[in-house]
Amino acid sequence: MANPNIPTPHITAKEGDFARTVLMPGDPLRSKFIAETYLENPVLVNNTRGVQGYTGTYKGKRVSVMASGMGMPSMGIYSYELFNYYDVQNIIRVGTAGGIGDNVKVRDVVFGMSAYTNSNFGRQYGFDGNVAPCCSFPLLEQAVAAARKMGSEPNVGERYYTDIFYDEAGGAGKLKKLGVLATEMEAAALYLNAARAGKKALAICTISDHLFTGEALSAEARQTTFTQMMEIALEIA
């Protein structure tokens, strides 16, 4: 019987259009770039609201890539629908993050193990305390192994997921004291949706700017420094 939840309010792909693993950059144009650069025979399976999603193959493996948009509400919607309605098993976020720790610099790849957040996304589960979004250990283990095979020792650790890019409170100093490596705006919602759906998620990000050193990549350099992150994500897809 056809799945009554498909198409969803935000995705018009057909049942079976997505692979088991979906890579999720924030930007729809990066989704197109990844599909055209890395996938063989990419087919556009979603373009609702310009949120481009493609399915193709990488080294013979079926893989999808679709944008998440920016922020946890947007990531929350797309990852929920992919996990719960399209039967996607793994979502790997591939994006940029702002560096916080002294031990990370621009261009480094950082794997987000656990997620500090100022978002209320986890309140929906009614847990009387703070839920703790965390990545999938099997995906993290595979990603670490893939990075080492490529000759680099990855940065793995805490990241901070914020709802506020232009944050007047400027809390990054407090986070640095707690050992947080980097900040971005999507994966806490992704990790919680994965936990609730019994699926797997991991965020692999490249540091595009550093909150304390002021170092930043140009828009052009952002495009070209993603190779390592992409190769790790595709290897474990």
Stretch that binds ligand HPA, among 45-53, 94-102, 125-133, 220-228 (CB under 6 A): 94-102
Residues 174-193 within binding reach of ligand HPA (CB under 6 A): 183-185
Which of 27, 87, 108, 209 is an active site residue? 209
Contact between 236 and ligand HPA per CB under 6 A: no
* DSSP-assigned letters across all residues of 78-141: HHHHHHHTS---EEEEEEEEEE-STT--TT-EEEEEEEEE---GGGGG--SS----B--HHHHH
Nearer to ligand HPA, 71 or 122 (CB): 71
Nearer to ligand HPA, 27 or 81 (CB): 27
Q: Identify the residue among 68, 117, 193, 208 touching ligand HPA (CB under 6 A).
A: 208
Residue 10 φ/ψ region, left for φ over 0, alpha for ψ in the -120 to 50 degree band, beta for the rest: alpha
Q: Give yes or no: 209 in active site.
A: yes
Do residues 12 and 54 make contact, with C-beta atoms less than 8 angstroms apart? Answer: no
Contact between 90 and ligand HPA per CB under 6 A: no
The distance of closest approach from Cβ of residue 112 to ligand HPA in the complex, given in angstroms and rounded to an integer, is 12
Cα angle: 229, vertex 231, 232; to 5 degrees: 65
CA distance 41 to 64: 11
Nearer to ligand HPA, 68 or 208 (CB): 208
Amino acid symbol at 44: L
Q: Which residues pair with 61 in a beta bridge?
A: 58
Q: Identify the residue among 36, 165, 174, 178 touching ligand HPA (CB under 6 A).
A: 165
Nearer to ligand HPA, 215 or 235 (CB): 215
Q: Identify the residue among 97, 190, 194, 202 touching ligand HPA (CB under 6 A).
A: 97
Contact between 209 and ligand HPA per CB under 6 A: yes
**# chain residues binding ligand HPA, by CB under 6 A:** 11
Do residues 105 and 209 make contact, with C-beta atoms less than 8 angstroms apart? Answer: no
Residue of closest CB approach to ligand HPA: 98
Do residues 56 and 40 make contact, with C-beta atoms less than 8 angstroms apart? Answer: yes
Half-sphere exposure of 133 (CA within 13 A, CB side): 29
Q: Which helix (H) or strand (E) holds 74?
A: helix 72-84
Nearer to ligand HPA, 39 or 229 (CB): 229
Residues that bind ligand HPA (CB under 6 A): 96-98, 162, 165, 183-185, 208-209, 211
